[in-house]
């Protein structure tokens, strides 16, 4: 017997079906890996040390590579946070700050207090925090900053008009003081980044202090997202002062976003790997490379490049990511890629060094989320002396890591293999 429904019931059923369709569509949009534009192999035409490589990176992919910069590497919270807070407290005109994670705890209050004090003193302070990444932030910190005159905005907050962009987060970590001093790297504003990586509760990470003409590019990347979020254009000498050379390093600020150039970061990494001639040192907190990137690393080994990778060991904040990563290692290990798992604590570094010349540092992880879904920013440094110092840091980290051989990987328990293979299927969504 066929059921009959009243007009009201049929209308409710239609609305429910439409709602379910809308939810399914939004989920599909937010958790898809985005359009993959880079599909073909990239021919190897030159090495990283060839002048044509830097021309390609500058003209084809990113902003101009600028001379006259100075860089300081800061290791772990004990070095990173004091340097950032000192710069904030010394600001005279402007502070611009974009970050993914901003939580509570003592370090969160220190930043809130320092930013508020500068705003009280008449400095123009602009803070852009990701809506998801700041979900654990103490709301009293926000209130205190806003009362002091700090302009605080959240990136892609939950709004009906943002439903299709909820999975597009700003993962960038940028701080610019007076348009003259810049910071970028891997840290968030939370307790686990404090200390000196001395135990599993205090993470290992690197951040970088920058001076010189490239700081203007860092500012431009940051203010582009500020403009997208607020509709306000910040410019003038308070934000973009004349910048004279202060060192000998060459650099460019590289950025990507799904709203413009989502594949550019992926292509930048692929070009650098393809151009490698001698060595690749990769520090990666979330290493879930796609097929093209794995093949590029394998091809590099085949032509004689030594590829060494450090990833987190058992201390990791996202176990699914570690399983997905390990599920993809077979061909890499078989080809001779050296993979090491950091043992003391969570390894959150994001640094790639190629041929002892190019050092790429910033917010980008080695996974589809960073390459295609997040807003990311990396500083590409072309400086052999600086690269040498970063290789020394890498080697110190490697001493605290355990190398995983192909035999060890193949002999891991069946239960691990099954969990890792299942997680690897989720790689594009992690």
Alpha helices in 280-339 (DSSP H): 291-302, 319-326, 330-335
Distance from C-alpha of 80 to C-alpha of 353, rounded to nearest angstrom: 21
Count of beta carbons in the 10 Å neighbourhood of residue 399: 8
Find, among 42, 68, 102, the residue nearest to 250 by Cα. Answer: 68
Rounded alpha-carbon distances, angstroms, from residue 395 to 102, 195, 388, 392, 400? 30, 21, 11, 5, 9
Q: Which residue has the tokens 């348009």?
A: 179
Tokens of 113: 């207090």
CA 54 distance to own-chain centroid: 22
CA distances from 112 to 3, 119, 123, 137 (A): 62, 11, 14, 11
Nearest to 152 by CA among 238, 89, 230: 230
Active site residue 178: yes
Catalytic residue among 178, 224, 290, 375, which?
Answer: 178
Q: What is the C-alpha to C-alpha distance for residues 26 and 261, in angstroms, rounded to an integer?
A: 22
User: Cα–Cα distance between 233 and 277 in angstroms, integer?
Assistant: 43
Pairing outcome for strands 306-312 and 279-284: parallel
Provide the 3-class DSSP secondary structure of residue 294.
Answer: helix
Q: Residue 426, exposed/middle/buried by CB under 10 A (0-12, 13-18, 19+)? A: middle
CA distance linking residue 253 with residue 58, whole number of Å: 10
Instruction: Name the catalytic one among 130, 355, 368, 397.
Output: 355
Is-contact 184 174, C-beta < 8 A? yes
From 266, 348, 368, 375, the catalytic residue: 348
Among residues 154, 340, 350, 367, which one is catalytic?
350
Residue 348 catalytic? Answer: yes
For residue 264, the tally of other CB atoms under 10 A from its CB is 20
* Residue 173 designated active-site: yes
Is 171 catalytic? The answer is yes
| Closest to 73 (Cα-Cα) out of 312, 347, 393 | 393
DSSP assignment of 95-131:
EEEEES-B--HHHHHHHHHHHHHHHHTT-EEEEEEET
Q: Which region holds residue 122: left if phi is over 0, alpha if psi is between -120 and 50, else beta?
A: left
Active site residues per annotation: 171, 173, 178, 348, 350, 355
């Amino acid at each position: 017997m066929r059921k009959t429904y009243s007009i009201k019931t049929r209308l409710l059923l239609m609305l429910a079906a439409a709602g379910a369709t809308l939810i399914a569509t939004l989920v599909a949009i937010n958790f898809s890996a985005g359009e993959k534009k880079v599909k073909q192999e990239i021919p190897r035409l030159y090495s990283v040390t060839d002048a044509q490589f830097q021309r390609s990176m500058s003209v084809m992919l990113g902003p101009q590579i600028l001379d006259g910069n100075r860089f300081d590497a800061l290791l772990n919270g004990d070095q990173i946070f004091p340097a950032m807070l000192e710069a904030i407290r010394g600001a005279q005109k402007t502070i611009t700050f974009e970050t993914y994670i901003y939580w509570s705890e003592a370090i969160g209050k220190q930043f809130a207090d320092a930013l508020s004090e500068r705003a009280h003193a008449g400095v123009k302070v602009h803070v852009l925090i990701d809506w998801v990444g700041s979900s654990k932030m103490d709301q009293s910190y926000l209130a205190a900053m806003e009362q002091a005159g700090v302009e605080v905005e959240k990136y892609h907050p939950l709004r009906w008009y943002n439903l299709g962009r909820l999975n597009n987060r700003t993962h960038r970590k940028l701080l610019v003081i007076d348009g003259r001093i810049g910071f970028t790297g891997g840290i968030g504003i939370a307790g686990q980044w404090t200390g000196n990586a001395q135990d599993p509760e205090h993470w290992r990470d690197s951040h970088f202090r920058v001076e010189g003409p490239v700081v203007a590019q860092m500012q431009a990347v940051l203010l582009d997202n500020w403009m997208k979020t607020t509709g306000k254009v910040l410019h003038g000498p308070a934000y973009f002062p004349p910048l004279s050379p202060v060192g000998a390093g060459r650099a460019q600020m590289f950025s990507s976003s799904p709203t413009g150039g989502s594949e550019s970061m992926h292509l930048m990494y692929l070009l650098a790997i393809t151009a490698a001639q001698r060595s690749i040192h990769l520090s990666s907190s979330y290493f879930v490379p796609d097929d093209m990137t794995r093949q590029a690393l394998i091809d590099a080994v085949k032509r004689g490049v030594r590829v060494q990778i450090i990833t987190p060991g058992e201390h990791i904040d996202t176990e699914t990511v570690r399983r997905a990563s390990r599920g993809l290692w077979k061909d890499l290990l078989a080809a001779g890629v050296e993979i090491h798992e950091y043992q003391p604590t969570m390894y959150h570094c994001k640094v790639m060094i190629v041929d002892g010349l190019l050092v790429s540092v910033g917010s980008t992880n080695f996974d589809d989320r960073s390459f295609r879904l997040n807003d990311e920013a990396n500083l590409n440094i072309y400086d052999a002396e600086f690269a040498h110092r970063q290789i020394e840091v890498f080697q110190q980290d490697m001493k605290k890591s355990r190398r995983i051989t192909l035999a060890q990987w193949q002999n891991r328990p069946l239960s691990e293999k099954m969990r890792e293979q299942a997680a690897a299927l989720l790689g594009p969504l992690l």
